[in-house]
């Protein structure tokens, strides 16, 4: 019977094509579609904040240089990982990450809780030559970040593209994207106030690469690295609840 059916289908090209597409679609539909509809997939985190334009630019440099291939940003629920890196990652923490950077390989350590762990100066030295601060490191040098001026004229367009895919940037954020990027890396300038106004008092506003005069790619990348894992405190709260 089964044999008979198959003999029929393998003589009919269109039928065969449809059968392949049908059979292959089931798994994806069952596993992916509910993730968009089931509410429990992503927790609520009322304190969640957005990436500033400068941090977003830094994230794009992180992607551009392929950092994701060697550093994960996903702490699993295993005891040794929690002890080494910090509270395990929650879904909500990458809610605004288009795309996610969970990674699949750790040639270097996980970065999900990197923000605030080291000083800006450490990050700059590490990116200039990793072996200056970690002699055994096999990471490449990224010297050009310190001299490349950051492109900011199009940051408004970046923010509005982000809004199109679902990140709730406001009109004011999009309008002031360029000024906010400048302001965040120049605490003494008059554009700095707007950044904390729009993104919260706790936003890091400082000359990340140590030079407030020039806005470099280093500023952006360090600003991003200092915010990784800091968009919400939800993971720390969950860990505290468990310990009680």
Per CB under 8 A, contacts with another protein among 118-147 are 130-131, 134, 136-144
Containing 59, the helix (H) or strand (E) segment is helix 53-64
Q: Which residue among 47, 98, 168, 171 contacts another protein (CB under 8 A)?
A: 98
Q: How far is the CB of 79 from another protein (least distance, A)?
A: 8
Residue 114 and residue 225 in contact, taking contact as beta carbons nearer than 8 Å: yes
The DSSP output letter for 149 is B
Total Cβ atoms within 10 A of residue 7: 9
**Contact flag: residue 36 with another protein (CB under 8 A):** yes
**Residues sharing a CB contact under 8 Å with residue 221, sequence separation 6 or more, in sequence order:** 58, 61, 62, 123, 127, 142, 145
Q: CA-CA distance, 163 to 125, in Å (whole number)? A: 34
**Contact flag: residue 76 with another protein (CB under 8 A):** yes
- Using the contact rule CB under 8 A, the part of the chain among 32-40, 47-55, 169-177, 187-195 near another protein is 32-40
Q: How far is the CB of 146 from another protein (least distance, A)?
A: 12
**Contact flag: residue 151 with another protein (CB under 8 A):** yes
Total Cβ atoms within 10 A of residue 146: 17
**Contact flag: residue 44 with another protein (CB under 8 A):** no
Q: How far is the CB of 209 from another protein (least distance, A)?
A: 17
Residue 185 and residue 207 in contact, taking contact as beta carbons nearer than 8 Å: yes
Q: Which residue among 1, 4, 44, 104 contacts another protein (CB under 8 A)?
A: 104
**Contact flag: residue 42 with another protein (CB under 8 A):** yes
Q: Which residue among 4, 38, 44, 188 contacts another protein (CB under 8 A)?
A: 38
Q: How far is the CB of 149 from another protein (least distance, A)?
A: 12
Q: How far is the CB of 6 from another protein (least distance, A)?
A: 6
Q: CA-CA distance, 175 to 160, in Å (whole number)? A: 9
Q: Which residue among 1, 24, 46, 241 contacts another protein (CB under 8 A)?
A: 24
For the record, the structure tokens of 18 come out as 């449809």
């Amino acid at each position: 019977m089964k044999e008979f059916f198959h003999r029929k289908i393998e003589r009919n090209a269109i039928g065969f094509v449809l059968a392949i597409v049908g059979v292959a679609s089931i798994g994806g539909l069952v596993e992916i579609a509910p993730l968009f509809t089931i509410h429990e997939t992503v927790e609520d985190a009322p304190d969640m904040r957005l990436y500033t334009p400068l941090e977003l630019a830094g994230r794009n440099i992180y992607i551009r240089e392929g950092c994701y291939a060697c550093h994960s940003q996903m702490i699993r629920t295993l005891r040794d990982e929690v002890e080494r890196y910090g509270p395990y990652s929650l879904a909500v923490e990458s809610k605004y990450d288009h795309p996610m950077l969970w990674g699949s390989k750790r040639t270097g350590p996980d970065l999900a809780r990197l923000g605030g762990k080291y000083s800006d100066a450490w990050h700059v030295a590490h990116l200039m030559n990793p072996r200056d601060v970690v002699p055994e490191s096999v990471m490449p040098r990224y010297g050009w970040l310190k001299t490349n001026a950051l492109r900011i004229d199009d940051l408004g367009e970046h923010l509005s593209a982000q809004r199109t895919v679902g990140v709730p940037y406001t009109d004011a954020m999009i309008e002031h994207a360029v000024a906010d990027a400048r302001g965040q890396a120049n605490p003494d300038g008059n554009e700095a106030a707007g950044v904390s106004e729009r993104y919260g008092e706790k936003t890091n506003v400082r000359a990340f690469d140590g030079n407030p005069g020039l806005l470099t790619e280093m500023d952006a990348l360090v600003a991003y690295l200092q915010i990784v894992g800091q968009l919400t405190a939800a993971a720390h709260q969950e860990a505290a609840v468990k310990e009680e």
